[in-house]
Amino acid sequence: MNADVRIEAVRDKDVALLLRLVNALADYERLSGEVFATEAMLRDALFGPRPSAEAVLAWVGPDAVGFAVWFYNYSTFVGRPGLYLEDIFVLPEWRGRGVGRALLRHLARIAVARGCGRMEWAVLDWNEPAIRFYRSLGAQAMDGWTVYRLTGDALKRLGGD
C-alpha cells in the first residue's frame, strides 16, 4: 500500500469536493445524466439530524484522489449488520498506486470494528479492471442474484395511497 495515502472522514467543508468526485465517478461509469445529488442533499445525508450514509476521502498530499460512501444494511440470515459500499472511486491517474486498496482496507476495518457480518457492493459488468481488483482482494461475485430497483413513478405508484 502506498504510505502516502491518507483516508479521512468527509467533513462538512469537503461536501463540494465529494460531489465533484461523485460526478467524476458518473462520467467514468457513463452515467453522467443519473446524478441528481446536490451539495445540500449530500450534507443532509452525511451530517443531518438522521444521517443515512458515511463517507471518506483518500488524500495524497493536498489532493483528494478518491472516495468511498457507505451505509449499513442488515442480514437476517447472518443476524448482524452489513456494510454496504455504495460507491468507491479513485481518479484514473491514481489507479494502481494503492489508493483503492487503502480505501477498502479502511472500510473493512470499520466493518470488523462495528461487528458487521459482511461487506458488499455492486460493480458494473463491463468494469473488468475493478472486477479483477476486487477478486485479487478475495471478494466473490454473488452469482445467481439480480438487483432490482424501484424509482420515480414506479416507486410513487407502489408507495402511494
pLDDT for res 127: 93
Say if residue 80's pLDDT is above 70. Answer: yes
Count the neighbouring beta carbons within 10 Å of the beta carbon of residue 96. Answer: 12
pLDDT for res 161: 67
Say if residue 108's pLDDT is above 60. Answer: yes
Helices first, then strands: H and E counts in the chain: 5, 5
The pTM of the full predicted model, rounded to 2 decimals, is 0.92
Average pLDDT over residues 68-90: 97
Say what angle helices 15-28 and 39-47 make with each other, to 10 degrees: 110
| Beta carbons of 71 and 84 less than 8 angstroms apart | yes
Q: pLDDT tens-digit profile of 22-69?
A: 999 999 999 999 999 999 999 999 999 999 999 999 999 999 999 999
Domains in the chain, start-ordered, CATH in brackets? 5-159 (3.40.630.30)
Q: Point out the least confidently predicted range of 50-59, 63-72, 100-109, 148-157.
A: 148-157
pLDDT for res 3: 60
Please identify every residue annotated as catalytic. 134
Question: Edge-to-edge strand order for the sheet containing 5-9?
Answer: 5-9, 54-60, 63-75, 80-90, 118-121
pLDDT for res 139: 96
